[in-house]
Chains A and B, each alone.
Chain A
Amino acid sequence: MMDELQVFVEFALRGLLIGALYSLMALGLSLIFGVMRVINVAHGEFLMIGGYVAYFAWAWTQLSPLATLLISVPALFALGVALERFLVERVVGKPELASLMLTFGISITLWNLAHALFSPDPRSVPYLYEPLELLGIYISKASLMIFAASLGLAALLVLFLKGTRWGKAIRAVAQNPEVAQACGIDTRRVRMLAFGLGAGLAGAAGTFVPIQFSLFPGVGHEFILKAFAVVVLGGLGSLGGAFTSGLLLGVVESLITFYANAHVAYLTFYATIVGVLLLRPAGLFGTGLVEED
């Protein structure tokens, strides 16, 4: 039997590492919502497609699984841009139901397509599964790598939003599309860019799925709930909130799994959504990078 404190630290740490993946997914979801006011129900499928792109890139080229990010992220970016251009753009500014139905339709379509193309067989990438030991705590190298890569990607996103013209345009459109237009910003292209970036982030998260978990066509369903809980907790449209609450829910999930059981941990995500919406609809973290308060 391990020392109680050590167990606590181990589970909290492990949850934190996994939480980075939730954060990454939630960042994309939040970015899309912030700029477009569209709740992207298909985000889980973006993650799943990203996973398959990365998986096949790895299987065919024997690239390092980490390097497949360079393929999966651009691929999902392109997919996101195309979907925005031809489908999602049509529901921007319409009542929420329109965008919910549309992205739900995209979700079902992508899921079925994946089912037909890739078969329901789950796939996984054996990579860095061996653990590192530190003071009796074992953490897999893969989860450390995923954590570091997620943090890196989130930092890149912040740099992009803060430091580039297009990044500022994204923030401007999220804060006030009307004024952004008056400032000469092409809001349509900004929406394409934002949707593409959101999809790219989901693709990045998806790249890690066959490494840390296992990849199958329905895997998106299982992540979207968590991502929604994270986004709701962090405050819709708030990137800082999304990132922080991703980590937080990761830790909570892991600890609850240990001290109660996995069922309760899973319910926590539902409970978070309901609880936050009832008690504090703006989420825990008011300050966002993208969104107007």
Chain B
Amino acid sequence: MAILELLEVSKRFGGLQAVNRCSFAVEERTITGLIGPNGAGKSTLFNLISGVLRPDRGRILFQGEEIQGLKPHQIARRGLGRTFQLSRIFPKLTLWENLMVVTEDAPRARALLELAGLWPLRDHYAYELSFGQQKLLDLIRVMMLEPRLVLLDEPAAGINPTMRNRILEVIQLLNAQGTTFLIIEHDMDVIMEHCHWVIALNFGEVIAQGPPEAVRTDEEVLRAYFGG
């Protein structure tokens, strides 16, 4: 069953049609990849789903209910979390506070910090963390909302392989515990290895979707990425 459904969603910025009649569904308990070249509309789509932007047209259903038009914090409270491309943490809050600011659930905060291996650093300010650790923190902070669905914007980009594997491992673990993920990712290896389903965008439109192997060899996708 679909946890998230987009129906004919469109968004225009001035002369640019950023998202054009986009329709797709994200199945519950999957890790779904969202791919496409730069400017394909992936981040805009995230902003539309999370309520930062309002669609010009179309409907967005989360767990069967329309959420377009709700405020970001309301959407977040319904169990739809997100992270940002550049890790966004609260630098002058301690790790512990970074989690507790979301909801005052100490056992959960502790469990998540332990899961991420950050428990020993809980009283440090977030700005003291390495970039990879900040990404981890970003991820587990989202988990404080007990979200059903999390949108991850390049969770593994720009960090060393060890830390990347660590993050992906955590995502896998959380997914196994029942959280659905929709991930923007450029690294095809990551997509191939971790995603159950992939949606490819270009010029704001869905050009292909299916299991990773199928999408990777899709002609239209190849054309979008390599031109020609």
A positions within 8 Å CB-CB of B = 165, 168-169, 171-172, 175-176, 178-187, 288-293
Which residues of chain B have C-beta atoms less than 8 A from A288's C-beta?
Answer: 92
Chain A CB within 8 A of B97 CB: yes
- Choice from A168, A291, A293 contacting B101 with Cβ under 8 Å: A168
Residues of chain A within 8 A (CB-CB) of B104 are: 165
Alpha-carbon distance between A81 and B65 when the two chains are bound, in angstroms: 33
The 4 closest A-B pairs by CB, nearest first: A184-B76, A181-B72, A168-B101, A179-B88
Closest to A188 in B: B71
Task: Answer yes or no: B145 CB below 8 A from chain A CBs.
Answer: yes
Q: Find chain B residues with CB under 8 A from A181 CB.
A: 51-52, 71-73, 76
B73→A184 contact, CB < 8 A: yes
A-B contact count (CB 8 A): 78
- B49-86 CB mask vs A (1 if < 8 Å, else 0) is 01110000000000000000001110011000111100
**A8 nearest CB across to chain B (Å):** 37
Minimum C-beta distance from A239 to chain B (A): 11
Residues on B with C-beta less than 8 A from A289 are 92
Cα distance A183–B141 in the bound complex, in angstroms: 8
Which of the listed residues A168, A171, A176 has the most CB atoms from chain B within 10 Å of its own CB?
Answer: A168
Closest to B144 in A: A183
Contact (Cβ within 8 A) A183 B91: no
Tell me whether A184 and B52 are in contact in the complex, defined as CB-CB below 8 angstroms, given that A168-B97, A172-B90 are known contacts.
no
Chain A residues within 8 Å of B72, by CB: 181-182
Smallest CB gap from B83: residue in A: A182
In the bound complex, residues from chain A placing their C-beta under 8 Å from that of B88 are 176, 178-179, 182
- Which residues on A sit within 8 Å (CB–CB) of B145? 183-184
Q: Cβ of A176 and Cβ of B142 under 8 Å apart?
A: no
B-side binding surface: helix, strand, loop or mixed? loop
Determine if B141 and A168 form an interchain contact, defined as CB atoms under 8 angstroms apart: no
Among A171, A178, A184, A185, contact of B92 (Cβ-Cβ < 8 Å)? A171
Contact A292-B91, Cβ < 8 Å, known A179-B84, A181-B73, A182-B84: yes
Indicate if B225 sits at the interface (CB-CB under 8 A).
Answer: no
- Are B127 and A182 in contact (CB-based, < 8 A)? no
Known: A178-B52, A179-B84. A184 touches B97 (CB 8 A): no
CA distance A288 to B125 in the complex (A): 12
- B93 cross-chain contacts in A, Cβ below 8 A: 168, 171-172, 175
Residues of A within 8 A of B167 (CB): none
Give CA–CA (A181, B145) in the complex, Å: 12
B99 to chain A, nearest CB (A): 9
With beta carbons under 8 angstroms apart, the residue of B81, B92, B100 that contacts A182 is: B81
Please determine whether B91 and A175 come into contact, CB atoms closer than 8 angstroms. Answer: yes
Which of B101, B141, B145 has the largest number of chain A CB atoms within 10 A? B101
B89 at the interface (CB under 8 A from A): yes
Q: By the criterion CB–CB under 8 Å, are B102 and A183 in contact?
A: yes
**Which B residues lie within 8 Å of A187 (CB)?**
73
B101 touches A165 (CB 8 A): yes
Nearest Cβ in chain B — how far from A197, in angstroms? 17
Residue of B nearest to A169 (CB): B101
| Residues of B117-164 whose CB lies within 8 A of A | 127, 141-142, 144-145
Max chain B CB contacts within 10 Å: which of A183, A186, A288, A293?
A183
Nearest-neighbour CB distance to chain B for A278, whole angstroms, equals 27
